[in-house]
């Protein structure tokens, strides 16, 4: 068994964090994996309290040298052999800690290269790749290409994120809608994402009036943009066709309740929500960002240019017909987290030989 540290920024609910905990669960090194967050997370999942080997370092804003010391002490105390960092902050602190403990190997996963638009982030990433022995993994070919273009560094591996394909299985739609208090006599288009700018909620609401009246929108998730979107829906006269569920703990129920899943984001890496929806046999409509095209084939959904908002309503109508396809069966091997964990375990093993 290899002692692994999964290093994240925080424990807030998000795709990156979900992937880390799923990787931990499926890894052969589960019992010796520690999940460490740089920041204290007031919005952490309540269920995390029951998991062993979790630690928050309570990092404050800005560069905090004491965090490097904390990481080095944690490495020594738990005989950590691999630090697997996720995103730019954890990548930087892991690299700085390993300077003091060079026997520790560093794996970093780039989940979404949007941050490389900022020159400071590009410089930090370039320096880490240039001057430290880091094994860079991208979660999609598109992400690997962006790293190569902006940092001039080739990713060592591409490992597509996976989800628990047993948990994310379809259940009876009527029962799912009953559990969520959703109407039975309408067609539902769902979106499960943070209600923040760039996630596509505004585009979906603005196009709803172009769709038949028996089509409603369902949003799962919370965020700071919700109040503004409610006002927008009222202004457009479609507020009665929108259902706000807030945070949902059982997302497989949400996916089973809807007919089509939509994620019209401005930026993504490889969104787990698309994989979860397909595992629940739901067709998807998504914007062509990150690695979306790598996982959404024509039998499973429709991919649009992120600026083609005028094509969104027709694509959503077209997607309803795809519900008859065996979306889950055709994509199960692609989305399974067991395969993701095996690939990462192989990387760990190779580095520790």
State pLDDT tens for residues 267-281.
887 888 999 999 999
Give me the CATH number covering residue 262. 3.40.50.2000
Query: Do residue 196 and residue 104 come from a single domain?
Result: no
Q: What is the pLDDT of residue 43?
A: 58
Query: Do residue 316 and residue 196 come from a single domain?
Result: yes
Close Cβ partners of 315 (under 8 Å, ≥ 6 residues apart): 285, 302, 304
Full strand arrangement of the beta sheet holding 301-304: 242-246, 215-220, 187-192, 260-263, 284-287, 301-304
Q: What is the pLDDT of residue 119?
A: 93
Query: Do residue 69 and residue 9 come from a single domain?
Result: yes
Residue 180 lies in a domain: yes
Residue 136 lies in a domain: yes
Query: Do residue 58 and residue 156 come from a single domain?
Result: yes
Secondary structure (H, E, C), 183-196: CCCCEEEEEECCCC
Query: Do residue 253 and residue 141 come from a single domain?
Result: no
Query: Do residue 131 and residue 115 come from a single domain?
Result: yes
Q: How many domains does the chain contain in total?
A: 2
DSSP structure class, residue 163: B
pTM of the model: 0.86
Residue 46 lies in a domain: yes
Q: Exposure pattern of 223-262 as b/e (b: 16+ CB <10 Å)?
A: bebbeebeebbeeeebbebbbbbeebeebbbbbbbbbbbb
Query: Do residue 313 and residue 330 come from a single domain?
Result: yes
Query: Do residue 30 and residue 125 come from a single domain?
Result: yes
Q: What is the pLDDT of residue 311?
A: 96
Query: Do residue 207 and residue 227 come from a single domain?
Result: yes
Per-residue pLDDT in tens (0 to 9) along the chain, 353 residues: 999 999 999 888 777 888 999 999 999 999 999 999 999 865 566 667 677 899 999 888 888 899 999 999 999 999 999 999 999 999 999 999 999 999 999 999 998 888 898 999 999 999 999 999 999 999 989 899 999 999 999 999 999 888 998 899 999 999 999 999 999 999 999 999 889 898 999 999 999 999 999 999 999 998 899 999 999 999 999 999 999 999 888 899 999 999 999 999 988 878 889 999 999 999 999 999 988 998 899 999 999 999 999 999 999 999 999 988 889 988 877 778 999 999 999 999 999 97
Q: What is the pLDDT of residue 188?
A: 98
Phi-psi region of 82 (alpha: psi -120 to 50; beta: other; left: phi over 0): beta
Query: Do residue 183 and residue 328 come from a single domain?
Result: yes
Q: What is the pLDDT of residue 144?
A: 94
Query: Do residue 93 and residue 204 come from a single domain?
Result: no
Q: How many residues does the chain have?
A: 353
Domain of residue 233 covers 173-335
Residue with tokens 């020594």, as numbered in its chain: 76
Residue 168 lies in a domain: no
Q: What is the pLDDT of residue 148?
A: 95
Q: What is the pLDDT of residue 52?
A: 87
Query: Do residue 9 and residue 151 come from a single domain?
Result: yes
Integer angstrom CA distances of residue 54 from 57, 138, 268, 324: 10, 25, 27, 43
Distance of alpha carbon 121 from alpha carbon 152, whole angstroms = 13
Residue 182 lies in a domain: yes
């Amino acid at each position: 068994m290899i002692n692994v540290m999964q290093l994240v920024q925080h424990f807030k609910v998000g795709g990156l964090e979900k992937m880390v905990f799923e990787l931990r669960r499926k890894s052969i090194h589960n019992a010796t994996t520690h999940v460490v967050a740089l920041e204290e997370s007031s919005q952490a999942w309540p269920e995390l309290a029951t998991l062993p080997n979790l630690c928050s370092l309570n990092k404050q804003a800005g560069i905090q040298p004491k965090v490097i010391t904390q990481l080095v002490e944690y490495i020594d105390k738990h005989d950590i052999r691999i630090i697997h960092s996720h995103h730019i902050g954890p990548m930087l602190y892991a690299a700085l800690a390993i300077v003091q403990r060079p026997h520790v190997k560093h794996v970093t996963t780039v989940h979404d290269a949007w941050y490389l638009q900022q020159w400071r982030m590009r410089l930090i990433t370039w320096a880490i790749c240039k001057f430290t022995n880091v094994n860079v993994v991208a979660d999609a070919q598109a992400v690997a290409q962006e790293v190569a273009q902006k940092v001039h560094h080739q990713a060592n591996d591409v490992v597509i994120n996976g989800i628990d394909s047993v948990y994310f299985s379809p259940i009876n739609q009527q029962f799912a809608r009953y559990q969520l208090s959703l109407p039975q006599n309408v067609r539902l288009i769902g979106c499960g994402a943070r209600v923040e700018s760039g996630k596509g909620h505004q585009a979906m609401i603005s196009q709803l009036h172009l769709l038949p009246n028996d089509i409603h929108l369902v949003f799962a998730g919370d965020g700071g943009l919700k109040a503004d979107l409610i006002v927008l829906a009222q202004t457009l006269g479609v507020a009665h066709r929108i259902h706000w569920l807030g945070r949902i703990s059982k997302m497989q129920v949400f996916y089973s309740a809807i007919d089509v899943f939509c994620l019209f984001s401005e930026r993504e890496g490889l969104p787990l929500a698309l994989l979860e929806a397909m595992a629940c046999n739901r067709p998807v409509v998504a914007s062509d960002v990150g690695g979306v095209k790598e996982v959404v084939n024509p039998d499973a959904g429709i991919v649009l240019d992120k600026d083609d908002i005028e094509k969104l309503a027709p694509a959503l109508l077209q997607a309803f017909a795809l519900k008859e396809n065996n979306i889950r069966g055709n994509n199960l091997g692609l989305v399974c987290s067991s395969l993701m964990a095996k690939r990462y375990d192989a990387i760990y093993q190779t580095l520790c030989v």
